[in-house]
Amino acid sequence: MWKLSLAVGLAAGYVLGSRAGRQRYDQIAKVTRQIAQNPTVQGATDRARQQAGAVAGKAAGAVADKVGDRLPHVVTDRVPYFNRARTEDDGWGTFRP
């Protein structure tokens, strides 16, 4: 994953720091759009988003279970996550375990 972040950072730095002009920028933007529209890339992005949502849901559930009962009602009333049923969708694609 760090390799992808490095590649994106290098590409962004090149585009922002490049003095090659509009033509080179348009060329880079076109290739970037082609990569983003690739079904393989979209599938990997969807899988990563689902996995991140599942991990976030587990982490939020763990936090809610450990500190939810100890928080004052002022906080729990404003954060609906603490009052939800355990299998309800939180709207972000995650479920509380």
DSSP 35-75: HHT-HHHHHHHHHHHHHHHHHHHHHHHHHHHHHTTTS-HHH
33 and 45, same domain (yes or no): no
Q: Which two tokens stand for residue 69?
A: 């009962």
Determine the pLDDT at residue 47. Answer: 92
Determine the pLDDT at residue 6. Answer: 84
Q: Could you tell me the residue range of the domain that residue 33 belongs to?
A: 1-37
| Confidence at 38, pLDDT banded by 50, 70, 90 | very high
Residues 3-24, mean pLDDT to the nearest whole number: 79
Determine the pLDDT at residue 21. Answer: 79
33 and 56, same domain (yes or no): no
9 and 22, same domain (yes or no): yes
Residues 67-71, mean pLDDT to the nearest whole number: 68
89 and 60, same domain (yes or no): yes
Full-model pTM: 0.46
